[in-house]
Amino acid sequence: MTSGMDVHVQQVVAQVPGADPNKVEEAFIRYEKDFLVPPEDAFRSVLRRFQSDLGEVKPATGGASSSAALPNRKVSRFSELKGDDRNIEIEVKITTHNPRIQMIRGEEKQIAFGTIEDMPWSEGEGDIWDYKDWGQNQNLSPGAIVRLEGVSVNEYQGKMSLNINQSSRIVVLQEGTRDVVNPSEPVEISTIKGEGMVTVVGRVLASREDVIHRKDGSGSIDVVRGRIGDDSGVIGFLSWEPFTHEVGSLIKIQHAQVRSFRNTPELNLGHSTKVEVYRDTNFASLDDLSLLTVSRIEDLTDGNRDVECVVEVQNILVRTFSKEGGEEGKVWSGEVADPTGRCRMSCWQEPPFTEADLPVVVKITAARVRAWQGIPDITVDSAEQMELLDSPPWGKDLDLSENVVEVELNTLTSGASRVGISTAGTIVSVREDSGIIRRCSDCKRVLREGACATHGEQEGVEDVRLRMVLDDGSATLSLIVNRDACLALLSSTEDEIKDRIMADGQTVFVQSLRERMLGRKLTAIGRTIVDEQGAMLLAESCTLEVVDTVLLAAELRQHWGVA
Amino acid sequence: MVLSRRSPRQPAWHMLASEFGESSLHEKGSGEFDPSFVITKLGAKVNRLIVAGLIERLEPRETANGSTLYQGQLRDPSGLHYFSVGDYATEAMREMAIELATRVESGESLMLLMVAKARWFQNEEGAVYTSLRPEEACIISPSVYREWLAKACEQTLIRLDAQQKTVSLEANRASLSEAGIADHLIDGLILAKPHYGEFDSEMFRFNIMQALDIIENKDISREKPLVSEEKVEVGDSSEANEEPASESDLKQTLLSLIDALDQSEGVDFDTLLSNAAARGHERDAAEAMLDELSDGGEIHEPRFGWFKRT
């Protein structure tokens, strides 16, 4: 028994003269072991127990309740709960989870708060409540469906929320989508996604003072913006507290908040963040890391800031527009490429090259990235951010004019939308609506039952399209084959296809497509759109691959040692 | 096509019949809309698969509520797949089932490729039977069959290798990931290990070798290894019979096999023919003898493809 416990045992005995000190000590030990409540916090409960003469503490099975006398109450909706409910059991879905450091009674404690939704198994929205987790539970990942046992209701100023106590039990029924990170252990920068609290060790790669103006004009805040990197990646940071670490210094940032600006995570250094100098002679040097600061097109995502990259500008055109106040503004937009892909670029000042000079290779610094329909747009505000290079860092031999990057199917489905890619997979489905479709004359959307979702009933314009599913055994994507690609793939004209459908009917036509393509390997070139609904590839060309099976069999024998 | 946010479309696994058929583990998420999976010995967590083979049978059966169910068998180098096309199948599948049933009946040899959903059924004794519910299918040429076979071999070899690795590893995500096992295999392997325990994977390697032989057009006359489940203490099981056995021997052999292997469910068609073949009997002759025994009432099929002594 710790000396701390001694004191508390004495206190209980002092207040309850008949109490057996051994039993009191046992009670404190039980609280500590079974309910994870330290003596100073258990004091009141133990005291109450001995005052009411119950004596022994019975650990409930699974440590579900700190009060054996209070029965476990199971509910299915928050609306069934009252402000004084304790020891509740309910199944919920975790919507958010945010670890924080809070000062409680003079001590720094790690707690988490967030929101939960009841009726997690039903379609349609359940009710949402706030919760506070006092038990440092690591399994409350957003998206997970859990059964909470032994939780209590907290009513404060009329608002009810749930307290997940240190003694509460959490059973995960369905895994969430994000792992809960221990906010005090350093993590690799490339793993930082989404919201949360993290600790990182990295080298300061950029740092500059900035000012954030309050939207209501009531003042401004001095902040420091910069970038910090380790050998896995680089991330931007925004410090609300003074930050004087110089570029090149190796620091440990503890308990930074991750906020997403558009799709890009950023470290926010706030009041409870601790920044200190870190010593590690093996850490990557500034030179090593500066290679990482140069972005590749395949890495760009919506919301990137302070981007440095080298691209080949392939075409550019200028557009004029009217600004507020009648002035004329100009924007130069173009298409750019590097060995990892293609995307767009927008410049708000005249660039240091003309259309006649193209193609040119430029180094761009301090740019920001926006995205449109999944395609990144490198946005440059001033011409000084662009520097013409004599030769590209990837060597003069690489011709980027038609470059298409080969990417594995499961990499495409788990990444951001991309342009100019090629991938291959097995055709596992030919959708029933493949063939002749009609598109809305106004917005080009596919008409359903003769009507456009936005523009209503109409004749529309005829088009040819195939819809299939491409699969590599671990991921799938929706393949949409456009008109030209279709006609080439089927070696057919639009009229021939129409005639066939008229003669044989839609079902037979689609089945004939299956006879040609189901189970075959297909390579498709085009661009992807990846969002919550999944991954889609808009193909501008497709080829059915002929597999040399004899060669493949021989390779398999050799590789796997099969006789 | 609107994809549900809850469960993305499940990928299709290239799989040989033996791996799917020998599965006895299934899993379903607790959510109402969660997909269900069959977990194979090699750790594949299968909801959808892509299979191919020769249509061995395809027959209409009347079900209890009066609708027609087409039940079929697909044979690949490793064994048989069982599939059924019922009322809930697409129009395309139903029309194909009707047409193909007629063609198979008239003796045509047809190779079929199908993308199907994994189905499992557990009886009161806890025995698990797997089968397929086709979503899309088509008749294929020998060259497309070889393409499918090659892919199936490749994937099975990868799974075999991963499963072998897990024998000496702790069944958790971290250790499997560190050992270099592909992400999509990990969940299934973690579930498979405690359920299947240790087993002889020799049969899987043998099936793959046969498949590779077929791809390369080699002669497929390997001696099948006798795996422990199939060993039978009937007669001289240790030596393969060299001369073709006589008809009465065949009848005796089949009846003794049923006696020895029947564990109350009966013995399935494929096991009987394979064991008979290992004793030197031609598959066709064995099949014909089974028909004869059925007609004569000495054996019966309590369930399609399973034989018991009457």
Could you tell me the pTM of the whole model? 0.57
Q: Is the pLDDT of residue A293 over 90?
A: no
Q: Which residues of B touch A532 (CB under 8 A)?
A: 5
| Model pLDDT for residues A542-551, shown as the tens digit of each residue | 999 988 888 8
Name the average pLDDT for chain B: 83
- Contact present, A92 and A116 (Cβ < 8 Å): yes
- Report A:371-410 residues touching B (Cβ under 8 A): 410
CATH number of the domain to which B1 belongs: 2.40.50.140
Q: Which residues of B touch A471 (CB under 8 A)?
A: 11-12, 50
Q: Which residues of A touch B135 (CB under 8 A)?
A: 429
Residue holding tokens 């399609």?
A: B304
Handedness of CA A88, A89, A90, A93 (dihedral sign): positive
Which amino acid is located at A233 in the chain? G
Q: Does A73 touch chain B (CB under 8 A)?
A: no
- Contact present, A481 and A536 (Cβ < 8 Å): no
Q: Does B216 touch chain A (CB under 8 A)?
A: yes
Do the Cβ atoms of B9 and A510 come within 8 Å? no
- Report A:518-537 residues touching B (Cβ under 8 A): 518-521, 532-534
**Confidence class of residue B234 from pLDDT cuts 50, 70 and 90?**
very low
Q: Does B8 touch chain A (CB under 8 A)?
A: yes
Mean pLDDT of B199-215: 88
More confident residue, A486 or A325: A486
Q: Which residues of B touch A431 (CB under 8 A)?
A: 1
Do the Cβ atoms of B150 and A520 come within 8 Å? no
CA-CA-CA-CA dihedral for A409, A410, A415, A420, to nearest 10? -10
Mean pLDDT of B149-171: 93
Which amino acid is located at B209 in the chain? M
Q: Show which of B192, B222, B242 is a domain's final residue.
A: B242
The ipTM (two decimal places) reads 0.72
Q: Tell me: do B120 and B217 sit in the same domain.
A: yes
Q: Tell me: do B52 and B102 sit in the same domain.
A: yes
Do the Cβ atoms of A174 and B151 come within 8 Å? no
Q: Which residues of B touch A506 (CB under 8 A)?
A: none
Q: Does an H or E element contain B114, and which?
A: strand B111-122
Domain residue limits at B289: 244-310
Q: Tell me: do B250 and B230 sit in the same domain.
A: no
| Model pLDDT for residues B59-118, shown as the tens digit of each residue | 999 888 888 899 999 999 999 999 999 988 999 999 999 999 999 988 888 999 999 999
Q: Is the pLDDT of residue A57 over 50?
A: no
- Contact present, A231 and A289 (Cβ < 8 Å): yes
How many structural domains does chain B have? 2
Q: Does A506 touch chain B (CB under 8 A)?
A: no
Q: Pairing between strand B128-139 and B111-122? A: antiparallel
CA-CA-CA-CA dihedral for A113, A118, A122, A126, to nearest 10? -90
Mean pLDDT of A46-75: 59
Q: Show which of B242, B271, B298 is a domain's final residue.
A: B242
Name the average pLDDT for chain A: 84
Do the Cβ atoms of B29 and A174 come within 8 Å? yes
More confident residue, A270 or A1: A270
For residue A163, what are its two tokens?
């307290």
Cis peptide before A99 (omega within 30 of 0): no
- φ, ψ of residue A230 in degrees (nearest 5): -130, -175
> What was the pLDDT predicted at B5?
47
For residue B216, what are its two tokens?
């390369």
**Confidence class of residue A3 from pLDDT cuts 50, 70 and 90?**
low
Do the Cβ atoms of A474 and B183 come within 8 Å? yes
Mean pLDDT of A191-218: 82
Neighbours of A29 (CB within 10 A): 15
Neighbours of A246 (CB within 10 A): 7
> What was the pLDDT predicted at A489?
93
Q: Is the pLDDT of residue A423 over 50?
A: yes
Q: Which of A92, A433, A556, A559 to mutate to test the interface with B (most CBs of B within 10 A)?
A: A556
- φ, ψ of residue B208 in degrees (nearest 5): -65, -45
Residue holding tokens 């004029």?
A: A320
Q: How far apart are CA A9 and CA A19, in angstroms?
A: 10
> In chain B, which residue's Cα lies nearest the Cα of A144?
B31
Q: Is the pLDDT of residue B6 over 60?
A: no
For residue A224, what are its two tokens?
């420091």
**Confidence class of residue B1 from pLDDT cuts 50, 70 and 90?**
very low
Do the Cβ atoms of B1 and A467 come within 8 Å? yes
Q: Is the pLDDT of residue B222 over 50?
A: no
Q: Which residues of B touch A552 (CB under 8 A)?
A: 150, 154, 215
> In Å, how far is B280's CA from the nearest CA of chain A?
25
Do the Cβ atoms of B215 and A467 come within 8 Å? no
Q: Which residues of B touch A175 (CB under 8 A)?
A: none
Q: Does B163 touch chain A (CB under 8 A)?
A: no
Do the Cβ atoms of B92 and A510 come within 8 Å? yes
Q: Show which of B242, B277, B294 is a domain's final residue.
A: B242
Q: Which residues of B touch A432 (CB under 8 A)?
A: 90, 92
Mean pLDDT of A464-484: 95
Do the Cβ atoms of B212 and A426 come within 8 Å? no
Q: Which residues of B touch A511 (CB under 8 A)?
A: 92, 96, 138
Q: What whole-number percentage of chain A has pLDDT above 90?
A: 30
Return the ∠ at Cα A342 (arms to A341 and A347), rounded to 5°: 140
Q: Tell me: do B236 and B181 sit in the same domain.
A: yes
Q: Tell me: do B259 and B128 sit in the same domain.
A: no
Q: Does A448 touch chain B (CB under 8 A)?
A: no
Q: How far apart are CA A171 and CA A392, in angstroms?
A: 55
Q: Is the pLDDT of residue B242 over 50?
A: no
Q: How far apart are CA A367 and CA A300, in angstroms?
A: 11
Q: Tell me: do B221 and B271 sit in the same domain.
A: no
Q: Which residues of A touch B146 (CB under 8 A)?
A: 549
Q: Tell me: do B183 and B81 sit in the same domain.
A: yes
> What was the pLDDT predicted at B264?
73
> What was the pLDDT predicted at B246?
60
**Confidence class of residue B240 from pLDDT cuts 50, 70 and 90?**
very low
Do the Cβ atoms of B150 and A554 come within 8 Å? no
Q: Is the pLDDT of residue A135 over 80?
A: yes
Q: Is the pLDDT of residue A401 over 50?
A: yes
Q: Which residues contact B102 (CB under 8 A, 6 or more apart)?
A: none
Q: Tell me: do B198 and B218 sit in the same domain.
A: yes
- Report A:126-145 residues touching B (Cβ under 8 A): 145
> What was the pLDDT predicted at A76?
87
Mean pLDDT of A527-538: 88
Q: Does B92 touch chain A (CB under 8 A)?
A: yes
Q: Is the pLDDT of residue B39 over 90?
A: yes
Q: What whole-number percentage of chain B has pLDDT above 70?
A: 87
Q: Tell me: do B11 and B160 sit in the same domain.
A: yes
| Model pLDDT for residues B10-20, shown as the tens digit of each residue | 999 999 999 99
- Cα B128 to its chain centre, rounded Å, is 13
Q: Is the pLDDT of residue A61 over 50?
A: no
- Cα A289 to its chain centre, rounded Å, is 24
Q: What is the DSSP letter of A27?
A: H
Map residue A276 onto helix, strand or coil: strand
Among A121, A428, A550, select the one facing B31 at the smallest CB separation.
A121
Q: How far apart are CA B243 and CA A246, in angstroms?
A: 88
Do the Cβ atoms of A428 and B50 come within 8 Å? yes
> What was the pLDDT predicted at A463?
92
Q: Is the pLDDT of residue B137 over 90?
A: yes
Among A122, A428, A474, select the one facing B184 at the smallest CB separation.
A474
Q: Tell me: do B204 and B250 sit in the same domain.
A: no
CATH number of the domain to which B248 belongs: 1.10.10.10
Do the Cβ atoms of A476 and B34 come within 8 Å? no
Map residue B86 onto helix, strand or coil: coil
Interface A-B: count of C-beta contacts within 8 A:
126
Q: What is the DSSP letter of A469?
A: E
**Confidence class of residue A428 from pLDDT cuts 50, 70 and 90?**
very high
- Contact present, A97 and A132 (Cβ < 8 Å): no
More confident residue, A458 or A216: A458
Q: Which residues of A touch B15 (CB under 8 A)?
A: none
Do the Cβ atoms of B115 and A547 come within 8 Å? no
- Contact present, A350 and A329 (Cβ < 8 Å): no
How would you label B214-250 residue by residue, b for 16+ Cβ within 10 Å and e otherwise?
Answer: bbeeeeeeeeeebeeebebebeeeeeeeeeebeeeeb
Q: What is the DSSP letter of B246?
A: P
Do the Cβ atoms of B208 and A562 come within 8 Å? yes
Q: Tell me: do B127 and B268 sit in the same domain.
A: no
Q: Which residues of B touch A410 (CB under 8 A)?
A: 184
Which range, A229-233, A336-340, B157-161, B303-307, has the best average confidence (pLDDT)? B157-161
More confident residue, A163 or A211: A163
> In Å, how far is A383's CA from the nearest CA of chain B?
43
Q: Pairing between strand A233-239 and A220-230? A: antiparallel
Q: How far apart are CA A181 and CA B70, in angstroms?
A: 52
Q: Tell me: do B111 and B254 sit in the same domain.
A: no
Round to the nearest angstrom and report the end-to-end CA distance of chain B.
Answer: 52
> What was the pLDDT predicted at A396?
72
